[in-house]
Structure 1
Amino acid sequence: MTLRRHHTSGARRRPRPVAGLVAASLAVALTGSGCAALTGDTGSDELQQFLSTLSSGDLAGAAALTTDPVAAEETLEANVLAMGFTPTLSARTPDGDRRPDRDPVPVEITWDMGTSGNTQADDDQADDEQADDDEAGSAPVGGETAAETSPRIVTTTGEARTTRVGDDWKVEWAPTILDTRLEPGGTLSFSEILDYDTSVVDRTGEPLFQWTPVTAVTLAPDAVESADAVAALVGTVVPTITGRTIRDGMAEAGDQPYQVVALRPSDIDPIRDQLAAVAGVTLPEQGQLIRTDRNLDSPALTGLPSAWTEALQAQGGWTAEIVNPDAEPIELGSAPVGQVEDLVSTVQISMQRAAQQAVDASALGASIVAIQPSTGGILAVAQNSVADQQGPVSMQGRFPPGSTFKIVTTAAALEAGVVGPDEVVPCPASVTVSGRTIPNDDDFELGPVPLETAFARSCNTSQAVISDRLAPEAMRDTAARLGLGVGFFAPGLGVDTYTGSVPVTEQGPARVEAAIGQGEVLASPFGMAVMTASLANGGRMILPHVVDGMPATANDTPEPLDPGVVDTLRRYMEQTVRSGTATAANSIPGLGGKTGTAEVGTGPAHGWFVGSTGDIAVAVLIEGADSSGPAVAMAAQFLAAAGQPAPLARG
């Protein structure tokens, strides 16, 4: 991946600093001369207590030990927060013979900004993204910080003295305790400097997220009565924002200003004056990483801003300064910023749009997940508004997979040798195995047929007979070899993923039900796409990921399936599309797949289709469809529009 092209002038924008709310630590020490310890009734013990309390991070407690607790607390909070959020302090009193009641004692403070991220900034970012329905997934400055390559440590030297107030010794408060160069109204300052020219692009190089100037529509905590007026204006741009959603957000924000939404220049300009006239509204300008197309939404995109932030901070520069009024800043320390290549997502925008169009055509909850088998790159994840009401079910849902799970059952039987690839098996209308009677859909029967035919026609009774001969852990272990039931963590994937759960089943009804994807077997569309992509990857479990160069880590490293078993399953799946239960998708060249109808209590059954062609694997779920037919048709529509994955934009 090469550096992105920049402005036509050839000049690169100057990276902008980030507000310095990052984790920090301070080492505070008194410096002096001689060998005698600070002793006697000079306030030296109280000065040491002040430094120890400051070291513990108790700024209010330290301020209470001074001659002006209110001013001291205000100044300490302003400066310590500007240099590092929630600092961890350590202090010591070196040998010295100066009397703090008579002469100022030098105080040396070491500020260690560390290498870890900023918890408060992460929380603020999450709040902004929750409030910002227009730019869902926007990334205000802050977020997680990757490991730095050099320490961020600076030292300031102040001075302190003590004085008696009544019967007590107090530290005589002055901002110069922090640094003798600190003037009235001045402050210490730490800033990160990041390369905001970096964008997030899709696999073709088309921008997904870019750093953009925006206007934050913000309401004061006491301006609840303005919620409806603001909603009437911004609702023309973001219809999901209402007076009620604003009031709910303000209630959660408490006594803090509430950011209703962040709008691009083209959206804010027509309503700027009207908004400015609403009581309690402020319109601060800021920069955010926002989606280039606000209509392009997907659970696969939500974590990309965090990955972008991490990439920038890994090469980020920094500066620590003393900033006095009407004076040039005094540098305490710094490091230069490095340029960062554009972050390349595995998602392909054209495929994402095709997937979204397909699921939006259904009035039922529908999800599509598409993955590239050869790399594990996630190509598209889409779910419609009905599915959205349940959360990111495409990545986390727990659904019985129905007959799509017969891929696992058949693979386990072939590997165990309990059935041969060309063996003839019975397919009666119903069969009782281990005390559980299993019927075929609509009680169809084929009689004795090759296993390939029984698979293609989705014969439940054949699978029930086969499963009765398996070991208790066979289906669980086979599923894991294809990634189903394995836990994955993928950098840049903003939602926790769930692939599925397959129980160990002793011989009996539970195993018979599991064999056809019912009972305790559960899976998400993401998990079924992982399973199908792993099979298309030669039976070797993929590592699903959403950012090029950042593969997932897994909690299991199973062995791949036997190549002969993989070839047999691929043949069965192609037959399913040619002459079995998925013939409605036979217009897609090279497609092999498996259908599933999964019973769910007393409601209509869910419809599934999983399949792969070329270098794309897909899982489709339509909740309550009562048949796999609509899922097959949706998969065909998506695959016809999506085509094959484009090469990754690495240069």
Structure 2
Amino acid sequence: MSAAAAVVVAVGVVSACGSEETTDAGRVAGEFADAVERLDVQAASTFTSAPAQASEALAATISGMDPQSVSTSVDSPVEYSDGTASFTMKTTWRWQDESSYATTTSGTVRKLSSGWKVQWDPNLLFQGLPAGARLQRIRTDAKPAPTVDSRTGKPFMQMEPVNEITFDPSAAGKKVDAAISALSASIRPIAPLITARTIRDEVDRAQGQPIIAVTLRDEDMKVLASDPERITGVTVRRTGRLVMNDRRLESPLEVGLTNYWNAIRDATAGWQVQLAAPGAKPRRLAGQQGPPGKDVATSIDQNQQLVLGDSVVDVAQPATMMVFDSMSGGILAMAQNDAAAASRVEAGLGYATGSTLKPVFDAITRAVPGAQDDTREANDVLHHLGLGVTFVAPGVSLPRQVSPTVSTARFSPNDFTASILNMGALGVALARADAGKDKAVPPFVIKGATTKVSTGDLGTLDRGVAKDVLAQMSTIARKGDASDITGAPGLRALVGTNGPKGPGWFVGLQGGKVIVVYCEGDKSGTAALQVAQKYFRVSKS
């Protein structure tokens, strides 16, 4: 007798919210679906005829899909007199971005000695899913990837294939030290600063987790001393990364620009659900892709970036340098030496200015009655010059703490802190006032992105104060602390320190640019002048 002749139909829908079925087979199918909805792999597998196989397959697909939520329903369970039953199950996977993917599959329930069980079959997850395969959801990005362009429109940073050389100490076992030494030797021709000691320090900080020892471009891989993948615990993962178009360049701006670029990629990212089977190329089942993101236009001058990189390396103290366009406020370049990077010097952090701003405070004192009593008018003049305000410029790494502020009620340069961005904004404000402009402008690096100004406003420039400060800067450059600098015709400068231990500053206006140098440590004022001199010398070569 055929199964069709001995049918008992139980009409209804079984879901996690309730059940209308009356058969034991339908109940078990519903409990299986309910456990899948809860993403409870162990519970779901216990309702099947092969718990181990079901657990492995369910875990693989749930991990691969990584959903925010899942909803399931069992439709029209049908029980037969031969101890079997059939059902269909709809599974809808949902994600945080409001995308979803639904499957409808068929299953069988059998009455075994242990009771009714869902006959395990990978087809319960997706019709046609081979054994050992899984469903997975991946992020997709539109091509071509946007570039980060310099002020001339040429790529400054672009997406390139790179190779992440990863070391897993747990995989190296007792040979960790030998593996680290071998890895250091392998990469030494291209990355001599990444020593066995630095790799070991990174491993210790990661507390036994895998680390990325170094990321190399394809051409770098060709000059390695040996194949790193032959070292126990080392793997090489090929991926893509935003890198400098000119490999000679390096800048602290990379972090902020990469974060901004990533935000664009995230906003235009798509998704794809795939069927992934061992030994086969993943097959697309569904997905959606946004359009490519627009290229990021910046104010960066690649030649200036190269010059700044050469300018900061000759001093032992932490040295950081930024150059701004004197009319637009655009950041042309930023560089720092290894000591400054180790000290985590950042563009938006406030540092003591010491005597550097004395000419500015003197000019305001002469122009504003009662300025030394910290009048609102005096502080407004400071704010209009870009001092005492906080800048958050998209594409520039954000500060780790609250920055520039007057730290006491007394109007005094010795109690003042400013960021490198503040000092650049001051130079731009003075240059604009000298050119007949009425207002200061905030610094920026990404064209079209708004720099947020807080703790004060950039208002109308006081040209009288600006003229006074510029005159003092000319005197400092001609016969003051900056008079030894050569090769900088028309230079106007502010120079100063916050005592013997620094920090030391140089703020210069020359050739349509504002040059800011910040150094820390002993003799930091001398170091700042040394960096500035190197800049003017390299600029002419």
Say yes or no: TM over 0.5.
Answer: yes
Aligned-partner residue type, residue 88 of structure 1: Q
| Distance in 2 between residues matched to 1:589 and 1:114, nearest whole Å | 59
Separation of aligned partners in 2, 1:169 and 1:480: 78
Match of 1:619 in 2: 516
Aligned with 1:353 (options 301, 306, 309): 306
Write the mapping of 1:204-353 to structure 2, written as runs, cut at 5 A: 204-220=152-168, 221-223=170-172, 224=176, 225-253=178-206, 257-271=210-224, 273-323=226-276, 331-336=284-289, 338-353=291-306
Counterpart of 2:445?
546
- Residues 334-368 of structure 1 show CA distances to partners (whole Å, capped at 9, x for unaligned) of 33563455433322222122222222122222221
SS in 2 for 1:547: coil
- How far apart are residue 398 of structure 1 and its match? 4.5
Q: Which residue, 603, 609, 616 being the options, matches 2:506?
A: 609
Q: How far is the alpha carbon of 1:390 from its aligned partner?
A: 1.0
Instruction: Output the CA distance in 2 between the equivalents of 1:396 and 1:62.
Output: 53
Tell me the equivalent position of 1:526. Answer: 421
SS of the residue corresponding to residue 395 of structure 1 reads: coil
AA partner of residue 74 (structure 1): E
Aligned residue number for residue 88 of structure 1: 68
State the distance in 2 between where 1:209 and 1:551 align: 21
2: CA distance between counterparts of 1:47 and 1:252?
49
Greater mean deviation of Cα atoms: 623-632 or 216-225: 623-632
Q: Give, in angstroms, the shift of residue 396 of structure 1.
A: 5.2
**Out of 459, 470, 487, which is 1:560 matched to?**
459
After superposition, give the CA deviation of every residue in 1:148-183 in whole Å (9 maximum; x if it has no partner).
xxx643322234565678778765544333222323
Say if 2:123 is the partner of 1:176. yes
Offset at residue 89 of structure 1 (A): 0.8
Structure 1's 37 and 401: CA in aligned 2 closer, same or farther, altered over 3 A?
same
Aligned with 1:583: secondary structure?
coil
Distance in 1 between the 2:100 and 2:473 partners?
Answer: 61
Q: Distance in 2 between matches of 1:88 and 1:113?
A: 5
1:617 is displaced (CA, Å) by 1.8
Q: Shift of residue 188 of structure 1?
A: 2.0
* 1:70 to 1:515, Cα distance in 2 relative to 1, 3 A: farther
The letter of the residue matching 2:56 is E
- Describe the SS at the equivalent of 1:190: strand
Instruction: Tell me, in whole angstroms, the C-alpha distance in 1 between the residues paired with 2:447 and 2:311.
Output: 26
Match of 1:583 in 2: 483
- CA gap of 1:501–1:60, structure 2 versus 1, over 3 A, is farther
Q: In structure 1, what is the Cα distance between the partners aligned to 2:194 and 2:516?
A: 32
Select the residue among 308, 321, 324 that pairs with 1:371: 324
Change over 3 Å in CA distance of 1:573–1:267 after alignment to 2: same
- CA deviations over 1:405-451 (Å, ceiling 9, x no partner): 33653465466x31xxxxxxxxxxxxxxxxxxxxxxxxxxxxxxxxx
Q: Residue type of the partner of 1:388? A: A
1:593 Cα deviation after fit: 2.9
Q: CA offset at residue 319 of structure 1?
A: 3.3
Which amino acid is 1:289 matched to?
Answer: L
1:468 matched to 2:420? The reply is: no
1:186 paired with 2:90, answer no
Alpha-carbon distance between aligned partners in 1 of 2:160 and 2:198, rounded to the nearest angstrom? 25
1:384–1:163: structure 2 CA closer, same or farther, 3 Å change rule?
A: same
2:102 is aligned with 1:155: yes
Q: Is 1:380 the counterpart of 2:333 in the alignment? A: yes
Shift of 1:237: 1.4
Q: Which amino acid aligns with 1:468?
A: Q
Would the alpha carbon gap of residues 492 and 80 (structure 1) be closer, same or farther in structure 2, given more than 3 Å must change?
farther
C-alpha distance 97-266 of structure 1, shift in aligned 2 (>3 A): closer
Partner residue in 2 for 1:501: 404
Contact 2:188 2:225 in 1 (8 A): no
Letter in 2 for 1:493: V
What amino acid maps onto 1:199 in structure 2?
Answer: T
Cα contact 1:595–1:628 (8 A) shared by 2: yes
Provide the C-alpha distance between the structure 2 equivalents of 1:351 and 1:93, rounded to a whole number of angstroms: 63
Return the match for 2:498 from 598, 621, 626. Answer: 598
Q: Compute the displacement of 1:372 (Å).
A: 2.5
Could you list the per-position Cα deviations for residues 56-93 of structure 1 after superposition, in whole angstroms to 9, with x for gaps in the alignment?
Answer: 55555655665555444433343233334xx2215365
Identical pairs, percent: 27
Aligned partner of residue 24 in structure 2, secondary structure: coil
Secondary structure (helix, strand or coil) at the match of 2:194 reads: coil
1:458 aligns to what? none
Structure 2 match to 1:406:
358
Change (3 A) 1:39 1:567: farther
Q: Residue deviations 1:558-585, cap 9 Å, x none?
A: 1414443444444443444345443334
Q: TM-score by structure 1 length? A: 0.67
Residue 38 of structure 1 is matched in structure 2 by 20
Higher relative contact order (CA 8 A, sep 6+): 1
Count of residue pairs the alignment pairs up? 514
| Matched residue SS, 1:356 | helix
Q: How far, CA to CA, are the matches of 1:73 and 1:474 in structure 2?
A: 72
Q: Alpha carbon RMSD of aligned pairs, Å?
A: 3.9
Distance 1:540 1:482 in 2: 9
Whether 2:532 is the aligned partner of 1:635: answer: yes
- Quick check: 1:72–1:173 contact (8 Å CA) kept in 2? yes
AA in 1 matched with 2:129: L
> What is the rounded CA distance, in whole Å, between the counterparts of 2:191 and 2:473 in structure 1?
44
Contact 1:405–1:515 (8 Å) recurs in 2: no
The amino acid of 1:201's aligned partner reads D
Code of the aligned partner of 1:189: Q
Change (3 A) 1:281 1:163: same
Task: Flag structure 2 segments of 5+ consecutive residues without an equivalent.
Answer: 1-11
Structure 1 Cα separation of the partners of residues 450 and 193 of structure 2? 35
2:148: which partner in 1? 200
Whether the 8 Å CA contact 1:479–1:502 is kept in 2: the answer is no
CA change 1:580–1:499 in 2 (3 A) is: farther
Choose from 330, 347, 362 the match for 2:315. Answer: 362
User: SS in structure 2 opposite 1:360?
Assistant: coil
Are the equivalent residues in 2 in contact too, given 1:68–1:173 (CA < 8 A)?
yes
Q: Is the 8 A contact 1:195 1:312 kept in 2?
A: no
Point out where structure 1 has 5 or more consecutive residues left out of the alignment: 1-29, 116-150, 419-465, 644-651
Q: What residue in structure 1 maps to residue 9 of structure 2? A: none
How far the C-alpha of 1:370 sits from its partner, in A, is: 1.8
Q: Distance in 2 between matches of 1:330 and 1:283?
A: 25
Give the deviation of 1:52 after TM superposition.
5.0
- Cα 1:604–1:200, aligned 2, differ >3 Å: closer, same or farther? same
Structure 1 segment 66-85 matched on structure 2, within 5 A: 66=48, 68-84=50-66
